[in-house]
Amino acid sequence: MDFELTGKTAFVTGGSRGIGRAIALTLAKQGANIALCGRTMESLEATAADIRALGVEAWPFQADVSKLE
């Protein structure tokens, strides 16, 4: 993909691993700041560090979006 997202913010669920992580990193490479949501804070923090290394902001949030509570 080649599109400009500088100054935009994306919210990615499942962002700590797998497809969610790949999407988050791809969006970050295009300049987007990323809000990550996932179940494990340790892996969210690792992904956030990788995103920040690309020169954009990242905010990890621990949550299970499959549950209402």
Rounded Cα distance, 44 and 30, in Å: 20
Structure tokens at 56: 């954009």
Entry pTM: 0.90
**pLDDT tens digits, residue range 21-40?**
999 999 999 999 999 999 99
Per-residue model confidence (pLDDT) at position 1: 57
- Whether the pLDDT of residue 69 is over 80: the answer is no
Q: Is the dihedral of CA 14, 15, 19, 23 positive or negative?
A: positive
Rounded Cα distance, 25 and 47, in Å: 8
Enumerate domains of the chain plus CATH numbers: 9-62 (3.40.50.720)
Which of helix, strand or coil describes residue 66?
A: coil
